[in-house]
Amino acid sequence: MTTPKSRAPSENADAVGLIVALLERFPEVASLGSHPAQGTLTLSFAVRKRLDKTAQNALRELVVEHVESFSELLAAQYERLDISAESDDGVTFVRVTRDVRSVTREELQMLTALFAQRFGDALIKSPSAVVDEALEEDPAAADDLVEFALEALRDPVQQRSLVGFREEQGAMVYFVPARKKAKARRR
């Protein structure tokens, strides 16, 4: 009798745990997506108000200015920075996409602080009940976990995209199915 093969290798299970750890460490982040094929990491922030196009453009410029200044300070270059916003009735989702190779723990801290300062109580945050008490007591351990998670997400072995988001007082992580390349139709 043969043992059925697992659909997801163990490193994918590790990646799920790391996505959850990042969401726990940064309660300001509504969702986080890892896209190894593109080499990107997408952070989504939820703001409890509708931002018009002018406000969205101002926010985009502010984020770009902060990331560029931060990169200059570290004497590092980044490959990708995309900011998009989508507004609906009373809520705006802002997505910041960065290349995973150059994003750092300090940059994640800076971005979450920027959004928290800019939007205050309008920024939707995770309840603190999700945060691991051991990490709360030892900030160095929390920082080490973020560094470990970023290094693991940079690993070229990771091939499947993941999206993690908050659900009540927990986090849900999904594997994003790979899109099959469509064949061109005959003419």
108, 26 Cβ separation under 8 angstroms: yes
pLDDT at 111 over 50: yes
pLDDT grade for 69, boundaries at 50, 70 and 90: very high
Q: Mapping DSSP to helix (H, G, I), strand (E, B) and coil, where does residue 41 land? A: strand
Whole-number CA gyration radius for the chain: 18
Q: At what angle do helices 105-119 and 53-74 cross, to 10 degrees?
A: 150
- For 134, the token pair is 């051991």
Predicted TM-score (pTM) of the model is 0.80
CA atoms within 13 A on the CB side of 3: 3
Q: Is 122 buried (19+), middle (13-18) or exposed (0-12) by CB count in 10 A? A: middle
Which pLDDT tens digit goes with each residue over 113-172?
Answer: 999 999 999 999 987 544 455 455 677 777 888 888 888 888 767 667 878 887 777 777
In the chain, where the domains are located: 10-171
Q: Is 73 buried (19+), middle (13-18) or exposed (0-12) by CB count in 10 A? A: exposed
Task: Give bridge partners of residue 32 from the DSSP assignment.
Answer: 43, 164
Which pLDDT tens digit goes with each residue over 23-50?
Answer: 888 999 999 998 888 999 999 999 999 9
Q: Which residue has tokens 């800019």? A: 118
